Structure 1
């Protein structure tokens, strides 16, 4: 995976990004793969990009290993999804470091309460739980996190 690069996704890849997103999301056990879910994600990717996402992929020699969606204006890490074959290889840490380069002072995100592996990882990475509430679109309980760069100590 040493040649994996993080780069901006291009529109021709949006369907592949949606497929990766579905596979990653379903690997949590919170949903099952389906044509309905895939079609919803295929429609959502270009809509979200038009609405403010900066969309990136981790490109491993032409294979997409991950997708990362950041809304820079809102200081929001919207999606960080790792393809199942790339999970456990520190790609998430690379993408989070990339996000911190893009948003160096503050980052907000949300995570499904049932995705314990993800929210525990974010907590280990310095994110602080701000609130938990149901998502009005699907009713799933979501945990909202914030990371803020620590101010340097005054001398």
Structure 2
């Protein structure tokens, strides 16, 4: 069973692990701006304490595991990552539905141009491309695309 819930402080290590594994699997050619330790510290000390992080938790009779994460800051989806072996199971769809429910007037997000699967995913959910950049405005210096969803 998969449950979506707000992340608690104790979830920070698992959230960081999902982010790191997903980024590595989905974006192997994109330079990471921060080390693993810096990512873990940022998620622990900044991202999760803000209270804008949601997790997908898989549970069975013997274990619980965080298998996805999303940060939503008002209308901005800052991150949506799934553990690589949990993709294609509808979890991303549930995160997007939750984001739309929590921000019914609209959403915006960025995706790297090289991440065509993410772009197709967001377009399938009604997001429309509104801007492309050369990457000079992000830490990775990777060309990206801004998407907007309006009801």
TM-score normalised by structure 2 residue count: 0.86
| 1:1-155 mapped onto 2 (5 Å cutoff) | 3-31=1-29, 37-45=35-43, 46-50=45-49, 52=50, 54-61=52-59, 62-72=64-74, 75-133=75-133, 134=135, 135-149=137-151
Equivalenced residue count is 142
The answer to whether the 8 Å contact 2:129/2:146 transfers is yes
TM-score by length of 1: 0.84
Deviation per residue, 1:23-50 (Å, 9 max, x gap): 1111114358x9x632121122132345
**Root-mean-square deviation over aligned CA pairs:** 1.9
- Partner Cα distance (1:140, 1:127) in 2: 21
Larger Rg: 1
Unaligned runs of 5+ in 1: 150-155
- The higher-RCO structure (CA 8 Å, 6+ apart) is 2
